[in-house]
Amino acid sequence: MKFLDQTKIYVRSGNGGAGCISFRREKFIEYGGPDGGDGGKGGDVWIEAVDGLNTLIDYRYQQHFKGGTGGHGMGQNRHGADGESITLKVPTGTQVLDEDKETIIADLSEAGMRVLLAKGGNGGFGNDYFKSSVNRAPRHANPGQEGEERTLWLRLKLIADAGLVGLPNAGKSTFLRAVSAATPKVADYPFTTLYPHLGVVTVSDSERFVLADLPGLIEGAAEGTGLGTRFLGHVERCVALVHLIDATQDSATEAYRTVRREIEAYGGGLAEKPELVALNKIDALTPADANRKRAALQRAIGKDVRLVSGVSGAGVRELVHEIAAMLRARRGEEATHAVQDDPEAAEPWTP
């Protein structure tokens, strides 16, 4: 299945059915009167977030969606049937934007969220609706109301607990393969990963988290260089970042600072997310060289640095447990802030 995280769609709700002009004509009933029924309501267009999807590829080849037209009213006060409504199924984490690609109409961040995109037109009134004491035989009815139409953009931001960031060829895909059952492409050249991959990492029988492998960032990614500007948005929903650096390159410090500059330039709160830094590919270095590079990087950035190897597995499990602990701490902080904002939410309910 191909990955698609952005697409343009056109939606149109159904027109309402027209009201009917009819009069009751039956034997032995001298004054039958008007009996035209109302038209049916046009079909709505909804969008709903569901589990089990992680791409918008379904909207690559079908981009026009229209609700059903309401049925017309009929004689004998028979109302027209309502038009058929349609529901667009999208992955959890999808944003709906207006045609300008800036105004966010809906953010479907949880499975089951459902938003009305276009409301169907109301059905027209039949002539029975207009009868009164001074107008006993109205000879007019309303046409159905026109449906709404709009052009929208769907943008998917993957929902993952932690995201792998780093320069191209930093070993992110290899690390994801080592800790999960995901099978991203691995090769000895940069930009092997062209779209994000998700993997479920098992820490214990009762604890798991989702790890996202994102395409490599290069200098200028926040301004549109390379692939980063398109996929940095997926990091926005991550609770924490795991920054992998290729230990075999000349300057690990410069590699770290290049990625951090792009993350800070992008904005969206990425720079404030908790971060774990790790030197990858230590299997290609001697222990002395690996420790020397780690010490130099720690002095330069003022953060702890881990040594890992996605190929040999050295330090991988330790880093996984650190990620899990960081996620637990972060969620605990969010829960504490939620309780402070709404103290009543923490109090147990009593009858």
Tens of pLDDT along 132-169? 989 989 999 999 999 999 999 998 887 778 888 888 88
Which of the two residues, 188 and 4, has the higher pLDDT score?
4
| Average pLDDT over all residues of the chain | 84
Q: Is the pTM of this model over 0.85?
A: no
Report whether pLDDT(49) > 60.
yes
- Per-residue pLDDT, averaged over 223-239, amounts to 65
Cα(139)–Cα(129) distance, integer angstroms: 11
The DSSP secondary-structure symbol of 343 reads G
Tell the residue number behind the tokens 């017309």, with chain if given.
72
b/e 214-239 (16+ beta carbons within 10 angstroms → b): bbbbbeebbeeebbbbebbbbbbbbb
Name the CA radius of gyration of the chain, rounded: 29
Distance of CA 254 to the CA centre of its chain: 33
Residue 182: what pLDDT?
72
- Per-residue pLDDT, averaged over 206-219, amounts to 76
Cα(331)–Cα(35) distance, integer angstroms: 63
Tell the residue number behind the tokens 């969220």, with chain if given.
113
Report whether pLDDT(289) > 80.
yes
With CA atoms as reference, report the closest residue to 59 among 96, 114, 34.
96
Distance of CA 64 to the CA centre of its chain: 20
Which amino acid, residue 4?
Answer: L
Specify the pairing of strand 240-246 against strand 275-280. Answer: parallel
**Percent of the chain topping pLDDT 70:** 86
Residue 220: what pLDDT?
56
- Per-residue pLDDT, averaged over 275-302, amounts to 89
Residue 52: what pLDDT?
79
CB atoms < 10 A from the CB of 111, how many?
Answer: 15
Residue 11: what pLDDT?
96
Give the full edge-to-edge strand order of the sheet including 275-280.
197-204, 207-213, 162-165, 240-246, 275-280, 305-307
Please tell me the least confidently modeled range out of 43-57, 104-118, 332-346: 332-346
Residue 200: what pLDDT?
83
Distance from first CA to last CA of the chain, Å, rounded? 51
Q: Which domains does the chain have, with CATH numbers?
A: 1-156 (2.70.210.12), 162-341 (3.40.50.300)
- Per-residue pLDDT, averaged over 292-313, amounts to 89
Cα(45)–Cα(122) distance, integer angstroms: 14
* pLDDT-derived band at 339, boundaries 50, 70, 90: low
Please tell me the least confidently modeled range out of 26-30, 211-215, 337-341: 337-341
Q: Which of 46-60, 96-110, 115-129 has the highest mean pLDDT?
A: 115-129
Residue 97: what pLDDT?
93
Residue 229: what pLDDT?
57
Cα(21)–Cα(125) distance, integer angstroms: 9
Residue 349: what pLDDT?
46
Cα(219)–Cα(49) distance, integer angstroms: 34
